[in-house]
A and B are shown apart, each in its own frame.
Chain A
Amino acid sequence: MKAFKNWNARSIAMAVDLARQARADGQSVSFAGGGTDLLQLVKDHIPNRPGQGEPDVLVSLKGIDGPSRIEMTTGGGVTIGALATLTAVSESLVVRDRFNAIAEAAAVVATPQIRNVGTVGGNLAQRPWCWYFRNGFPCYKAGGDRCFSAGGENQLHAIFGGGPSYIVHPSDLAPALVAFGATFRIAGSGGERTVSAPDFFVPPRTDAQHENVLADDEVLVGVDVPAPAAGTRSTYHKIMDREAWTHALSSAAVVMQMDGDVCRRASIVLGGVAPIPWRVPEAEALLAGQRVTPELARRVGEVAVTGARPLAKNAYKVPLTRGVVERTVLALASRA
């Protein structure tokens, strides 16, 4: 592991300032939340920011109090600080009561140890877990000019929205937050800005190297989730190739606004199958104004994967995702 300096920030403004100073001194900087993945990247000599060297300085955000809170807003939404741990999110009564898919997504990340330390911001901004990137290949994600998975081992890679990079976005929280229409607050040298959740994540056709809009000097501060409409229920279903400590092969965050047994409106966002949280509007539209029958759920599953373009070794993700959507939609609609 390359030796680095650790600077503890006491506020977001101080963190941004520390990073700016270090950069002005010609040093490579990374913001550190829980550090569970960042330190592994450092140990493995994998760049946390594409095209930049290994960090000389880590600006630790852990000592900052405000952004670790989870609070209900006056309008009935919730604001989740980017430094809240995944465990805190999964155990938050507010989140569990009104935004269940978010709590469920936080609860199935990695392992209890990692959830106790890992943060919302880290989960959303984590680098891909593609085995080429993680083994030090000079791919797009490392600042290079190629995707090795396209003609190689792509069992775990994208079936939607791929090219020129075929990574899948590794966050479990991301599909749930997109499904709930969250907005992300970002701080940087130029002050704070807000982007909608879908706009936070960047498809590889727009930028093959970065997974999100965060600039080198920016840090995610928090997530605001608007109040759900009455009758809203939600769930997150994650399929892994073992029961813990791995990323989704396919997952679905489903939010439904129910009126009796009729679904007024649905959001379906897939994880583990695309370089960004993957919304399936055609499938959502099938549910609007309908009673959710097993037959309808089956059609929703089929429509959800009609746009899939599997690679040579991940065709199984198509029936898998179809099944995940069908099951999740039906189970959520049937929930009392």
Chain B
Amino acid sequence: MSASWVGGGVPTSPLSTSSLGVGTPTSPSAAPRQTPSQSVPQLAPMRTVGHGVPRIDAVERVTGQAGYTRDLRREGMLFARLLTSPHPHARIVSIDTSRAVALPGVRAIVSHFTHPDIVYSSGSIAGGAQYNDTAKDNTLHKRYMFGNPVRYVGEPVAAVAAVDRHAAEEAARLITVEYEELPFVLDVEEALAPGAPQIWPEGNIGLNGQNQPRPLGGRQGDPEAGFAAAHRILEGRYTTSFAQDAQLEPRSVLAEWEGDKLILHTPTQGISNCRHDNARDLGLEDHQVQVICHYMGGGFGDKNGSYYHDLIAATLARETSTPVKLEVTRKEDWLGTHGRWHTTQDLRVGFTNDGVVTAIQQRAYSGMGPFLRRSGGLSGIDAYACPNVDRQIYPVHTNRTVSGNMRAPSEPQGFFPIQSLMDDVAYAVGMDPVDFALRNMRRPTEQVRFTNYSLEECIARGAELFDWRNRWRPTPGADAGPIKRGAGFAFMMFRSGVGPSSAILRLDGTTGRCTLFVGVTDIGPGAKTTMALIAAEELGASLDQVDVVWGDTDRCPYSVGESGSRTTIMTGYAVVEAARDLKRQIAERGTPGTSEVLIASATPNPSTQGRQRLCFGAHFCEVEVDVQLGHVRVTKFVAVHESGRILNPLPARDQIRGAVLQGISMALKEDLLYDARNGQPLTAGYYGARHLTHLDAPQIEVEFIETDDGFGPFGAKTVGEAGIIHSPTAVGNAIYNAIGRRMKDLPITRARILEALA
């Protein structure tokens, strides 16, 4: 069979002969096209992308054939378990392993005392600098595989490798650790008060890449003049809670050494980052580490890059010269990985009587736990056009568990406070919150241009679908009776930037099949399928003629990692470029014959030439609040998003729905409660943290406004994180509209509603 189909032949797959399919594949021109910024163009349908395709690995996943890391076995493999700190802050005086070592089947025990020098990759560095190897080397706040002192409950203290799970767990319990307990602090403001327990010698404010305790944020315009020009000022204090990523699959790692090469099977969102992190931490070259992740059970951010579990498993495997699989319990996973940083925020907004915001001030504290796994930043204020802004955001160290990036890391807990306060401002000036947003939201300017702008269309379409004018109550809390309805609105804009990634395509002349090599792992959004769709589209092939090789650093080229909603945009664009390379080769040399193979590859690093590339969205939520029982029920939720061209509508809609649900759960349920007297976490796990169940999930209507701004693969933008950014705010604003009480603390529990109404 020859490969005559490449370049726009007749599609042979039923999947691609949709009624919407056209004969010739459309492909974006090499140069970005000019797109009007104020209107939404009608997109011509494409051949393969955009038609709603089931995931190519759906059957393996739902029939149990997919091998997740925990399913892997090796002949003679050892099982490893952790011993973690029971104290929020303590110095380890000694570790006695004699009883554990004596247990039959125990092969190795590692701890701070056996391996004191292995720095766990990210160290403790603020503001995105964790992606910088130099900053990792220079930071004063090094985070070790096993630390001493331990600084949070759940921090690893030791690990055991044994012949089976029981022996490993029992041995871990037989280790006797002598601790000298140290004073601890859980609250971000208490951590900055004079005399607070010091988690680091440099104090409790997170250090930046230059080892300085500087706040994030900064000043724009003239905030003092802006407040002076205001007719009125509203202010408020808001708190948002810690939300664990809570992905279904807890971490597990299978580590095996072949000579001086380490093979790590580990659930990671980014095999390339994971390889680089582990190689540096273990003193290896990147090529000496192979990271494999074929299937994973979700990540939401806390599986990006490497984790200390990788280092511990690798160390035990090296000590024992045997493959080692490390497994953790749900509780260890909950406390030992990370979740969304909790915050305490003071906000002030100055505005004119006709509803123009003149100044915004923010003083915020992001609770990071003892290490800066990620930045602690907060977004939301930048969604407004107000030129006069004063923001100071302190990443604060506490002895709570570590915070890090979770699905839109800085956004939901940044948007909720400012958009709650802006909602108050709208009511204060007698404006519909939608009209107020249209007056004050950020738009492209001569100085800061966007690749396109569609927020108005999102808001208008959402208001229409939701019937905002009829559902929103001009007077909050106006309904009679114990069950009151209300409607809330929130909007967002979020990064969809372009950047480097790689892809390889191999066309086999004998079989006529194409193999796509991409370094994705698929944390849930269906990246494998998306990459295959993009290749098929650009090649004019059908989806079932493209095989995908993924999730293995030795077989796949560099990929950015599935974080920051970048995979579709960056790796997807590399697939487009690789397909173009393949088509060029075919044009030059003809299609490969039997026993001939063509290899094409691309590592594009596109640029928007200074323009901002953003996705947009508007959420409309209706709630019923039972003021007698404090119950909140979401009765309607409309999510309209512009995420460029939607390459696969099925998972794209599910991504928005899942993110909205996660946002509703954050708004109403989730927290990690600590006992202030002893620093112990009380609600780790699905039962205690009160995540939504299926019965709590309302129907969520999702609509996309599709555009093609000429960037990304066929104009695709961010989807995965977009839906969680403003959904908690829409819920909170709807509750205000229903009961006339501003709920400023997340989660908005039944207890808080009843207390507010008491």
Interface residues of A (CB under 8 A from B): 1-3, 43-45, 111, 131-132, 134-135, 137, 148, 151-153, 155, 239, 241-246, 249, 313-316, 319-320, 323-324, 326-327
Contact B690 A131 (CB under 8 A): no
Contact B683 A320 (CB under 8 A): no
Question: Which residue of chain B has its CB nearest to the CB of A148?
Answer: B675
Would A249 and B750 be within 8 Å (CB), given that A241-B669, A241-B690, A243-B693 are in contact? Answer: yes
Name the B residues within 8 Å of A151 (CB-CB). Answer: 677
Contact B751 A155 (CB under 8 A): yes
Contact B749 A241 (CB under 8 A): yes
Which of A2, A152, A319 meets B628, CB within 8 Å?
A319
Name the B residues within 8 Å of A316 (CB-CB). Answer: 630, 750-751, 754-755, 758
With both chains docked as a complex, state the minimum distance between the C-beta of B675 and any C-beta of chain A, in angstroms. Answer: 5
Which of A43, A45, A131 meets B683, CB within 8 Å?
A131
Question: Which residue of chain A has its CB nearest to the CB of B631?
Answer: A239
Contact B754 A3 (CB under 8 A): no
Name the A residues within 8 Å of B695 (CB-CB). Answer: 242-244
With both chains docked as a complex, state the minimum distance between the C-beta of A193 and any C-beta of chain B, in angstroms. Answer: 34
Contact A245 B675 (CB under 8 A): no
Would A323 and B628 be within 8 Å (CB), given that A153-B682, A241-B750, A316-B754 are in contact? Answer: yes
With both chains docked as a complex, state the minimum distance between the C-beta of A267 and any C-beta of chain B, in angstroms. Answer: 22
With both chains docked as a complex, state the minimum distance between the C-beta of B428 and any C-beta of chain A, in angstroms. Answer: 29
Interface residues of B (CB under 8 A from A): 166, 169-170, 173, 329, 331, 482, 628-631, 669, 673, 675-677, 680-683, 686-688, 690-696, 749-751, 754-755, 758
Task: Report the separation of the CA atoms of residues A74 and B377 in the bound assembly, to the nearest whole angstrom.
Answer: 70
Task: Report the separation of the CA atoms of residues A315 and B742 in the bound assembly, to the nearest whole angstrom.
Answer: 20
Known: A132-B682, A135-B680, A319-B758. 12 other contacts (CB 8 A): A152-B675, A152-B676, A152-B677, A153-B682, A155-B751, A242-B690, A242-B691, A243-B695, A314-B751, A316-B750, A320-B750, A324-B629
Contact B696 A243 (CB under 8 A): yes
Task: Report the separation of the CA atoms of residues A52 and B758 in the bound assembly, to the nearest whole angstrom.
Answer: 44
Name the B residues within 8 Å of A324 (CB-CB). Answer: 629
Contact A242 B749 (CB under 8 A): no
Task: Report the separation of the CA atoms of residues A155 and B751 in the bound assembly, to the nearest whole angstrom.
Answer: 8
With both chains docked as a complex, state the minimum distance between the C-beta of A180 and any C-beta of chain B, in angstroms. Answer: 25
With both chains docked as a complex, state the minimum distance between the C-beta of A244 and any C-beta of chain B, in angstroms. Answer: 4
With both chains docked as a complex, state the minimum distance between the C-beta of A115 and any C-beta of chain B, in angstroms. Answer: 14
Question: Which residue of chain B has its CB nearest to the CB of A134?
Answer: B688
Would A320 and B693 be within 8 Å (CB), given that A131-B683, A153-B673, A327-B628 are in contact? Answer: no
Which interface residue of B331, B629, B683, B695 has the most chain A CB atoms within 10 A? B629
Which interface residue of A43, A45, A319 has the most chain B CB atoms within 10 A? A319
Task: Report the separation of the CA atoms of residues A327 and B629 in the bound assembly, to the nearest whole angstrom.
Answer: 10
Question: Which residue of chain B has its CB nearest to the CB of A243?
Answer: B695
Which of A152, A245, A326, A327 meets B687, CB within 8 Å?
A245
Task: Report the separation of the CA atoms of residues A202 and B129 in the bound assembly, to the nearest whole angstrom.
Answer: 58
Name the A residues within 8 Å of B669 (CB-CB). Answer: 241-242
Name the A residues within 8 Å of B329 (CB-CB). Answer: 43
Contact B692 A242 (CB under 8 A): yes
Contact B673 A3 (CB under 8 A): no
Task: Report the separation of the CA atoms of residues A111 and B687 in the bound assembly, to the nearest whole angstrom.
Answer: 12
Contact B166 A1 (CB under 8 A): yes
Name the A residues within 8 Å of B758 (CB-CB). Answer: 315-316, 319
Task: Report the separation of the CA atoms of residues A314 and B686 in the bound assembly, to the nearest whole angstrom.
Answer: 22
Task: Report the separation of the CA atoms of residues A313 and B682 in the bound assembly, to the nearest whole angstrom.
Answer: 15
Contact A2 B170 (CB under 8 A): yes
Name the B residues within 8 Å of A245 (CB-CB). Answer: 686-687, 693
Name the A residues within 8 Å of B683 (CB-CB). Answer: 131
Question: Which residue of chain A has its CB nearest to the CB of B86?
Answer: A136
30 contacts between A and B (CB under 8 A): A1-B169, A2-B170, A3-B166, A43-B329, A44-B331, A111-B693, A135-B680, A135-B681, A148-B675, A151-B677, A152-B676, A241-B669, A242-B693, A242-B695, A243-B696, A244-B695, A246-B687, A246-B690, A314-B751, A316-B750, A316-B751, A316-B754, A316-B758, A319-B628, A319-B758, A320-B629, A320-B630, A320-B750, A327-B628, A327-B629
Question: Which residue of chain A has its CB nearest to the CB of B758?
Answer: A319
Name the A residues within 8 Å of B687 (CB-CB). Answer: 245-246
With both chains docked as a complex, state the minimum distance between the C-beta of B633 and any C-beta of chain A, in angstroms. Answer: 9
Contact A135 B690 (CB under 8 A): no
Would A320 and B754 be within 8 Å (CB), given that A152-B677, A153-B682, A246-B690 are in contact? Answer: yes
With both chains docked as a complex, state the minimum distance between the C-beta of B733 and any C-beta of chain A, in angstroms. Answer: 22
Name the B residues within 8 Å of A323 (CB-CB). Answer: 482, 628-629
Question: Which residue of chain A has its CB nearest to the CB of B692?
Answer: A242
Task: Report the separation of the CA atoms of residues A148 and B681 in the bound assembly, to the nearest whole angstrom.
Answer: 13
Name the A residues within 8 Å of B630 (CB-CB). Answer: 316, 319-320
With both chains docked as a complex, state the minimum distance between the C-beta of A200 and any C-beta of chain B, in angstroms. Answer: 26
Question: Which residue of chain A has its CB nearest to the CB of B674?
Answer: A153
Name the A residues within 8 Å of B173 (CB-CB). Answer: 45
Name the A residues within 8 Å of B676 (CB-CB). Answer: 152
Task: Report the separation of the CA atoms of residues A1 and B170 in the bound assembly, to the nearest whole angstrom.
Answer: 8
Task: Report the separation of the CA atoms of residues A315 and B690 in the bound assembly, to the nearest whole angstrom.
Answer: 20
Name the B residues within 8 Å of A320 (CB-CB). Answer: 629-630, 750, 754
With both chains docked as a complex, state the minimum distance between the C-beta of A284 and any C-beta of chain B, in angstroms. Answer: 21
Question: Which residue of chain B has its CB nearest to the CB of A237?
Answer: B629
With both chains docked as a complex, state the minimum distance between the C-beta of A127 and any C-beta of chain B, in angstroms. Answer: 14
Task: Report the separation of the CA atoms of residues A152 and B758 in the bound assembly, to the nearest whole angstrom.
Answer: 23
Name the B residues within 8 Å of A3 (CB-CB). Answer: 166, 170
Task: Report the separation of the CA atoms of residues A323 and B673 in the bound assembly, to the nearest whole angstrom.
Answer: 27
With both chains docked as a complex, state the minimum distance between the C-beta of B335 and any C-beta of chain A, in angstroms. Answer: 11
Question: Which residue of chain B has its CB nearest to the CB of A301?
Answer: B628
Name the B residues within 8 Å of A327 (CB-CB). Answer: 628-629
Which of B331, B682, B686 meets A131, CB within 8 Å?
B682
Name the B residues within 8 Å of A313 (CB-CB). Answer: 751
Task: Report the separation of the CA atoms of residues A132 and B683 in the bound assembly, to the nearest whole angstrom.
Answer: 10
Name the B residues within 8 Å of A134 (CB-CB). Answer: 688
Name the B residues within 8 Å of A44 (CB-CB). Answer: 331
Task: Report the separation of the CA atoms of residues A134 and B688 in the bound assembly, to the nearest whole angstrom.
Answer: 10
With both chains docked as a complex, state the minimum distance between the C-beta of A120 and any C-beta of chain B, in angstroms. Answer: 22
Which of A1, A131, A137 meets B688, CB within 8 Å?
A131
Name the B residues within 8 Å of A111 (CB-CB). Answer: 693
Name the B residues within 8 Å of A244 (CB-CB). Answer: 693-696
Contact B755 A242 (CB under 8 A): no
With both chains docked as a complex, state the minimum distance between the C-beta of A208 and any C-beta of chain B, in angstroms. Answer: 20
Question: Which residue of chain B has its CB nearest to the CB of A132?
Answer: B682
